[in-house]
Structure 1
Amino acid sequence: MLYGSIEAGGTKFVCAIGNEKLEILERVSYPTTTPAETMALVIEFFNQYKEELVSIGIGSFGPIDIRPTSETYGFITSTPKLAWQNYNFLGAMKEAFDVPMAWTTDVNAAAYGEYAYGHGKDLSSVVYYTIGTGVGAGAIQNGQFIEGFSHPEMGHVLVVPHEDDDFAGSCPFHGNCLEGMAAGPAIEKRTGRKGQDIPEDDAFWAIEAEYIAQCAYNTTLMFAPEVIIFGGGVMKQRHMMEKVHAAFERLMKGYVATPPLAQYIVTPALEDNAGTIGCLALAQKAKADA
């Protein structure tokens, strides 16, 4: 039996095939252009495995409709990517493949990967953030995603501007939300440089760490999870975690006794594989639940 994974991002779609041990057997990447172009490539890829494919896990950029009773369940809804607005993603996949499918956000999929096989393994509560081109988050409690009328948009929680930061924020909706202040485009707009081109000792990183620490502080007080995981391109700056831990301690002021920070606020154990492994694990679960 083979399981399929689709990490549908705003820039690229990463498709993979895994076995029953969730080992990645093949993985490909396609640019996110239009539904007609991109989905044709996705379907062509999985068609190679149609006889052995038993289920597919999909983690998509959003916003998406996750309510099974909704008329637009499985749709990408009000995305700024105009070609994908109100696109029936799940419907297109079900038309091509008659197998069980899991449907969630791309960051939920990464959260599930870490929950099942990464830093969240054997824990009951995990919160995962990706800080890259945008900021998104997923929260899991006892194997279930925390969500209600829709999926959370924790990347748009407001943050208090750092005293040395006069940047107004790059989010067109909220200005000084976490995404508007800390995502990759915010870094480049503020500094004129991409994150990977800014030296480790640059004073900017203390500002960035402050915003991520505020996120961890708010998450701790709202959910008290057993682990908070920060993934995404910005967190590939390995020096960041020490700065985030220090800023978090300053903010918390000892009010809540958390687990040791080296185990509590971390980067993904699965690194760039969290999303793919998460989609494969969700595909496996969809098959078992069918």
Structure 2
Amino acid sequence: SGNIISETRFPTTTPGETLDQAISFFRNLDVSLSGIGIACFGPVDLNKNSRTYGYITSTPKPGWENTDVVGRFKDVFGIPVGFDTDVNGAALGEGRWGAARELNTHLYITIGTGIGGGFVANGNILHGLVHPEMGHILLPHDRERDPYEGFCPFHQDCFEGLAAGPAIEGRWGEKAESLPVNHPAWELEAEYIAAALHIFLCTLSPQKVILGGGVMKQHHILPIVHRQLLESLNGYIQHPVVTGEIS
């Protein structure tokens, strides 16, 4: 039904400590559980025929590589455990209860400590060889105008490496929420986001794009992203969803 009966928040530390806290939360609920759904940062193994199904795999998060998430919960609770990426879970939630209800297709992108995306078509999350890693596409990077090298340990200056929260802090020496509205950081940040959205609009053609994450809480960046996206598309996609007002 989408009703929240209980919630908690705690920081992500070590695998043992973090998973223990999550397990304790479910143990202490005054309800009978028939199943548990986990939306987890990745990359993760979603192939149910794989011996490492339910594992976090080659993650940049220190200490979490090859962590068996699903196995821990199954061992403790002995009930079905659904498993997907955090952004896929958010995308599914937006389709069922949020900003994308009654749409056939939508794209959810989070821009925070990392960048990821989930695409939903006809109620189904897009899966394939693995799961989409939208934060790791490569974007144009003018190193003279933006000498920041990027922070991604795998690709350095991919979308995440150039535009996630740590990139903003690494480039400008301050966190996104500390930068004033008129700071040049926002034009550059919007440029990278718009370049990525150009790719996703042309390849996935979603009816709606939902932007979330800590960086996007700086709401003044939205009209800048929209302006730069329209400039980048140069009139190629003529649809009111793209050219009209944003919210």
Interval containing the TM-score (normalised by the shorter chain)? over 0.9
**Greater strand proportion:** 1
Answer yes or no: is 1:219 the counterpart of 2:191: no
Comparing 25-34 with 109-118, which one deviates more in the overlay? 25-34
Comparing 69-78 with 95-104, which one deviates more in the overlay? 95-104
| CA apart distance, 1:262 | 7.6
TM-score normalized by the length of structure 1? 0.80
The answer to whether the 8 Å contact 1:155/1:179 transfers is yes
Choose which of 24, 38, 45 in structure 2 pairs with 1:65.
45
Aligned to 1:142: 122
Q: Secondary structure at the match of 1:260?
A: helix
Structure 2 spans left out of the alignment, 5+ residues: none
Structure 1 spans left out of the alignment, 5+ residues: 1-20, 267-290
Answer yes or no: is 1:75 the counterpart of 2:67: no
| CA apart distance, 1:45 | 1.5
Answer yes or no: is 1:203 the counterpart of 2:207: no
The answer to whether the 8 Å contact 1:134/1:179 transfers is yes
Q: Cα RMSD (Å) of the superposition?
A: 1.9
Where do 1:14-93 residues align within 5 Å? 21-49=1-29, 51-93=31-73
The answer to whether the 8 Å contact 2:207/2:241 transfers is no
Choose which of 71, 89, 103 in structure 2 pairs with 1:123.
103
| CA apart distance, 1:233 | 0.5
CA shift in 2, pair 1:264/1:142, >3 Å: farther
| CA apart distance, 1:37 | 2.0
Aligned to 2:162: 181
| CA apart distance, 1:81 | 3.3
| CA apart distance, 1:210 | 0.7
Q: Deviations over 1:68-118 (max 9, x none)?
A: 111111111122334322121101101111333221001111111111112
| 2-structure distance, mates of 1:36, 1:174 | 28
CA shift in 2, pair 1:30/1:190, >3 Å: same
> What amino acid sits opposite 1:221 in the alignment?
C
The answer to whether the 8 Å contact 1:230/1:265 transfers is no
Q: Secondary structure at the match of 1:128?
A: strand
The answer to whether the 8 Å contact 1:164/1:207 transfers is no
| CA apart distance, 1:50 | 6.7
The answer to whether the 8 Å contact 2:94/2:101 transfers is yes
The answer to whether the 8 Å contact 2:87/2:116 transfers is yes
CA shift in 2, pair 1:264/1:77, >3 Å: farther
How many aligned positions are there? 246
The answer to whether the 8 Å contact 1:171/1:180 transfers is yes
| 1-structure distance, mates of 2:170, 2:242 | 31
| CA apart distance, 1:51 | 4.9
The answer to whether the 8 Å contact 1:160/1:176 transfers is no
> What amino acid sits opposite 1:47 in the alignment?
R
Q: Deviations over 1:183-226 (max 9, x none)?
A: 11110111011111111111221111111111111000000110
Where do 1:154-165 residues align within 5 Å? 154-161=134-141, 164-165=145-146
CA shift in 2, pair 1:117/1:264, >3 Å: farther
CA shift in 2, pair 1:262/1:117, >3 Å: farther
Choose which of 81, 92, 96 in structure 2 pairs with 1:101.
81
TM-score normalized by the length of structure 2? 0.93
With a CA cutoff of 8 Å and minimum separation of 6, indicate the structure with the bigger relative contact order: 1
